Structure 1
Amino acid sequence: MPRPRTPLLDRARIRATALDVIDRDGLAGLSMRRLAAELGVRAPSLYSHYRTKDDLLNDLADDIMRAVDVSAFAVDWVTGLRAWARSYRAALAAHPNLVPVVAAGPARRDAALARADTVHGALVAAGWPPRQATMIGASTRYLVLGAAMASFAHGFETDAQIYADRYPHLDQAHRLRDHAAEIDADSFTLALDSFLHGLRALHTDLTRTPPA
């Protein structure tokens, strides 16, 4: 019988399989040896495509960023920030185990840098000074990463007795886990809306024409 052919490797297939491993087993579960086994090849076969695991993780993070939508900045800066934040959170929520890699910053990642360039350029064009535009981008990112890193509502137990005896103001905390997705989504919306409301007020003061 003919020997089975080794499936051809390419960077897209390597990344897809690596992401499956990370989604399933976390970042600690990914090694080049483990990835090679998943692909049915030997580890040295990977190194002609990715020299190091960090190179692979950088490309995976950039793939995540390609799902982040910044097109709404063409409408106005508030609409742009809202859409950017929501799509950013959704992209990270789809692969939460990769959030620490994305959170490390854009470095030389093309997709991440392109989106950062769009955001910064739109804010400056709207009248924000460059330093404040940078801080707005950073603050939005903090909000998104915080929401993506962990669930507030899932941090509570379902046993009502844990809270009833010692924490009278948390007598309904045991219900949070059952409504975690709704609470976390609504909490993110509240934080984002409040953030944008404050920014609008700052922008009005900044761009108000001085009296003659």
Structure 2
Amino acid sequence: MARPRRSLLTRQRIVDAAAALADAEGLEAVSVRRLATELGVAGPSLYNHFATKSEIIDAVADAVVAQVDVSFFGSRDWREALRLWAHSYHAVLSEHPNIVPALAHGPGRRPAALAMADAVYGGLIDAGWPPARATHIGALMRYLVTGSALGSFALGFPVDEVLYANYPHLRQAHLLAGHRSSVDEGAFDFGLDLLIAGLDKHYAELRKGVPA
């Protein structure tokens, strides 16, 4: 009787398994040994595709970033492009919050992350932003988006009314968790609105030749 054929181990299978582990249990759960167990293979076989665990994490992070829509740059006004991109980026990271720490140090050598940075920077330059300011805007947007995905502000306040008895301005804080969506998403939208409004004003001043 022929032996059952084992499914072929590929980079994509490894990345998918690592992403599932990171989503479910956090980055600390991702190890070569754990992945080998999940995939039903010998640990050393993973090294045929990735030299280190760090390379696997990088690949997972890049697979997440690849889901972000950057097609708005070059086809929409820079303000609308920034807004739509930020919402897409925020939505993707909100689905994969455990991977955010791996994105904290910038794109590194990750192709999708570099392509996203190129699209955003290029779109801003094409819109007339000076290179230095385009760089600042890209950084600002990343701070806003990744920061918003790191954790819930609303869930940081325990549902315990007694806890806030000595904090007169926090008497309603125990209700925040019950309004997580309106608090967290509202804060993100509000911050994004203010950021783009401020950039719009600055852009108008630049176009008039007013010193920044």
Tell me the TM-score normalised to structure 1 length. 0.95
For 1:55 and 1:111, the matched residues in 2 are separated by 14
Amino acid in structure 1 at the alignment position of 2:146: L
Q: CA deviation at 1:105?
A: 1.0
What's the counterpart of residue 52 of structure 1? 52
RMSD of the TM alignment (CA)? Answer: 1.3
Question: For 1:132-211, what aligned pairs fall within 5 Å after superposition?
Answer: 132-163=133-164, 165-208=165-208
Tell me, in whole angstroms, the C-alpha distance in 2 between the residues paired with 1:160 and 1:4: 60
CA distance in 1, matches of 2:82, 2:94: 18
Deviation of the 1:106 alpha carbon: 0.5
In the TM superposition, residue 209 of structure 1 has moved relative to its aligned partner by: 5.9
**Which runs of no fewer than 5 residues in structure 2 stay unpaired?**
none
The within-5 A match list for 1:10-49 is 10-49=10-49
Rounded to whole Å, the distance in 2 between the matches of 1:119 and 1:207 is 20
Cα drift, residue 3 of structure 1 = 4.2
1:80 and 2:84 aligned = no
SS in 1 for 2:199: helix
Shift of 1:62: 1.0
Per the normalisation by structure 2, the TM-score is 0.95
Unpaired runs of 5+ residues, structure 1, are none
Q: Runs (4+) of structure 1 moved beyond 4 Å?
A: none
1:64 shift after superposition: 0.9
**Aligned-pair CA distance for 1:59:** 1.1
- Cα drift, residue 6 of structure 1: 2.7
Specify whether residues 199 and 88 from structure 1 end up closer, same or farther in structure 2 by C-alpha distance, changes over 3 A only: same
Query: How many residues in Structure 1 have an aligned counterpart in Structure 2?
Result: 209
Q: How does 1:106-145 map to 2 (within 5 A)?
A: 106-145=107-146
